[in-house]
Amino acid sequence: MSLTDINAPLEEVRSYLTARYDQRFEVHPKLFEEVVASVFRDLGYRARATAYTGDDGIDVVMALDDSSDETTGVQVKRYRDAISVEQLRSLAGALLIGGHTKGVFITTSTFQSGAERTAQISKDRGYEIQLLDAPGFSKAFTSPRSTPIARASCSSLGGPSS
């Protein structure tokens, strides 16, 4: 299996990442976005990855169901470097422009200092952004319902209860 092939079967990629999450940087960025969408689908959401280019800053869109007016915009960064406060601000703008009610920022690395404060400011302004770093997201491959992504989606994102 080639992790750079965007047509690689998602289940195979997820199985591989379950065993070797340290290889996450080898996965094609678009394929990683598809993996993220599949994790949210496993949690009971209607989730889809957006276009690889021209996505207006949102990589995955999810909602509780087809009739839901509330959507969550997800930004996925397969980075080695820490995510900057500016990148969180960019997501906040993308949520506003895209008409999304909430956001999740998922990274394969960590967040710089100030990220939690920026997420709190965004929440105070009506655009909640959940932060999920590499250790938190890696748990989604082994026990999805007990991970930070499930707690975030099930509680503050208004998702299906576990």
pLDDT in tens, 110-144: 999 999 999 999 999 988 999 999 988 887 766 66
Local confidence band at 157 (pLDDT 50, 70, 90 cut-offs): very low
Local confidence band at 155 (pLDDT 50, 70, 90 cut-offs): very low
pLDDT in tens, 100-112: 999 999 999 999 9
* CATH tag, 10-156: 3.40.1350.10
The SS3 call for residue 70 is coil
Q: Which helix (H) or strand (E) holds 63?
A: strand 60-63
For residue 4, which phi and psi values (nearest 5 degrees)? -95, -5
Q: Which residue has the higher pLDDT, 93 or 160?
A: 93
The SS3 call for residue 9 is coil
* Residue entry with tokens 């080898």: 26
pLDDT at 122: 92
pLDDT at 144: 61
pLDDT in tens, 36-71: 999 889 888 899 999 877 678 899 999 987 777 789
Q: Side chain identity at 109, as an amino acid letter?
A: S
pLDDT at 109: 95
